[in-house]
Structure 1
């Protein structure tokens, strides 16, 4: 047989085998019962989950020795341990990168100070909330502009530092704060700097976060006591998942429902300023529907 004839026949045989392989792959992909591994199955098989956090104390932050801790990371460790996952790989990122990172597959779960809102429910699936909390303002020492509400900020034509993409952007605008009064920043460190350097008159965030910032420089800033806000602005924080990861969300919810409010849970979150007053019976479904 000539070399040219051999090469031609070999090429035909190779093409036939490739076609058979492709057909077989398609057959098994369409065969009932043959399905891809879910995120829950993968993290239980590998014993590792990757969680994205925003750098916002006391929800999530890094200690001087590089450890990621806070209310959300410590809760995640307990919850995923109950699901047989030993390694929780916490990654701090900018707030605005959380949802895009989750949807792109860089994280399996996202957390840390993220409120459930109807708008976010269109992008991600939330577990039921693990806390409820109110907001407040961080102001210069003595509160020179006497700011105790968003309305006060609007009337005084004050400058307000808000983290980009947070619910507080909308809350402030609902109460009359104009767009040009807002200075949107990437994180709480930038909020503290803006108030301390008098580039803004106030910053806004959860009461626990603003109190934590005030402790960093009590000679120059303080958290407002008795902040007046619409009760509808109460924040309900929760872990969030890709919408297709239904089994993972349901497994986490099951653990949370049996654990939240127990002595172990309250001891876990106490170092970060949380207590029984932060517990809630609200569900993600109720909040997503606007109830």
Structure 2
């Protein structure tokens, strides 16, 4: 009788253990999309670069990309969007390490980055320009102009595509000043540690507006059309179901009145719309 009871207890324990294993496996099989829809929360990684993504003086995370993320994730049933401030060069490593679920920083789609993250289709297109001292004393209107003057310094954010564009145009490493964010770019030009800073036209115009008595954004910047930037949300390579769900919502929303009203405060309009896909830009 005792043996039977022991046998029965062992059977119950085995069933309980098997149930726990199945539960653990089911939990571990949950995708990021399933988790954020179940919890109603998503974490976005961003770097301080107005107007794409930044923290306001009262601590709010805003900008073109976070606001688009809020709209799109709300359409997926995810109401809470938490921001994780990260230096630009650490965004992709932070995403892959699981510090956040999506990069919402206006990151350009490039073939190199396509090997590290899964991009949604682009939400905007834009070109670059330079921030210089008022009057543009060195007459800089292109990367080539910087390259032709060996004593000229160019401030660029670490990890950005502009570093590659500068190299392609002949700018030497000792001419480049790599800084962590746009505030450092503005400071470098004002302090004359750099003759110019480079970034998107909207970003440089925004910096110029902070100190118009000292600096200006170049209106006539000559650049290779191939350098047109296409910004998008980015996901871990294994989160293609999340990327695809976001794309479905983006395609239905981009270009609508609600979309244009959402991004207008950050300087975006219909001219920034694009029909290109991430696959086309990635070269797939």
Q: What is the TM-score when the length of structure 1 is the normalising length?
A: 0.89
Aligned residues: CA RMSD = 2.2
Q: 2:105 aligns with which of 106, 112, 125?
A: 112
Distance in structure 1 (CA, Å) of the matches to 2:106 and 2:57: 21
Higher radius of gyration, 1 or 2: 1
Instruction: Check if 1:169 corresponds to 2:163.
Output: yes
Q: Which residue of 2 aligns with 1:271?
A: 265
Conservation of the 8 A alpha-carbon contact between 1:127 and 1:240: yes
Q: In structure 2, the residue corresponding to 1:88 is in which secondary structure?
A: strand
Mind listing any 5+ residue stretches in structure 1 that lack a counterpart?
1-12
Conservation of the 8 A alpha-carbon contact between 1:54 and 1:113: no
Moved more, 226-235 or 63-72: 63-72
Distance in structure 2 (CA, Å) of the matches to 1:118 and 1:236: 12
Mind listing any 5+ residue stretches in structure 2 that lack a counterpart?
1-6
Change (3 A) 1:104 1:21: farther
Q: Which residue of 2 aligns with 1:129?
A: 122
Q: 1:90 aligns with which of 83, 93, 96?
A: 83
Instruction: Check if 1:222 corresponds to 2:216.
Output: yes
Q: In structure 1, the residue corresponding to 2:197 is in which secondary structure?
A: strand
Q: Give the C-alpha shift of residue 52 in structure 1.
A: 0.4
Distance in structure 2 (CA, Å) of the matches to 1:230 and 1:98: 26
Distance in structure 1 (CA, Å) of the matches to 2:172 and 2:201: 22
Moved more, 54-63 or 34-43: 34-43
Q: In structure 2, the residue corresponding to 1:105 is in which secondary structure?
A: coil
Distance in structure 2 (CA, Å) of the matches to 1:26 and 1:59: 45
Q: Give the C-alpha shift of residue 24 in structure 1.
A: 4.0
Q: Which residue of 1 aligns with 2:34?
A: 41
Distance in structure 2 (CA, Å) of the matches to 1:30 and 1:188: 45
Moved more, 215-224 or 89-98: 89-98
Q: 2:95 aligns with which of 102, 118, 122?
A: 102
Distance in structure 2 (CA, Å) of the matches to 1:30 and 1:56: 40
Q: In structure 1, the residue corresponding to 2:261 is in which secondary structure?
A: helix
Matches within 5 A, 1:8-27: 24=18
Conservation of the 8 A alpha-carbon contact between 1:116 and 1:238: yes
Conservation of the 8 A alpha-carbon contact between 1:126 and 1:240: yes
Q: In structure 2, the residue corresponding to 1:49 is in which secondary structure?
A: strand
Q: Which residue of 2 aligns with 1:139?
A: 132
Distance in structure 1 (CA, Å) of the matches to 2:178 and 2:16: 51
Question: When the two structures are aligned, how many residues end up with a matched partner?
Answer: 274
Instruction: Check if 1:285 corresponds to 2:256.
Output: no
Deviation track 1:56-107 (CA, whole Å, cap 9, x = no partner) reads: 0000111121111110111111000000001011122110111111001010
Conservation of the 8 A alpha-carbon contact between 2:153 and 2:177: yes
Distance in structure 2 (CA, Å) of the matches to 1:237 and 1:37: 28
Q: Which residue of 1 aligns with 2:147?
A: 154
Q: In structure 2, the residue corresponding to 1:204 is in which secondary structure?
A: strand
Q: Which residue of 2 aligns with 1:7?
A: none
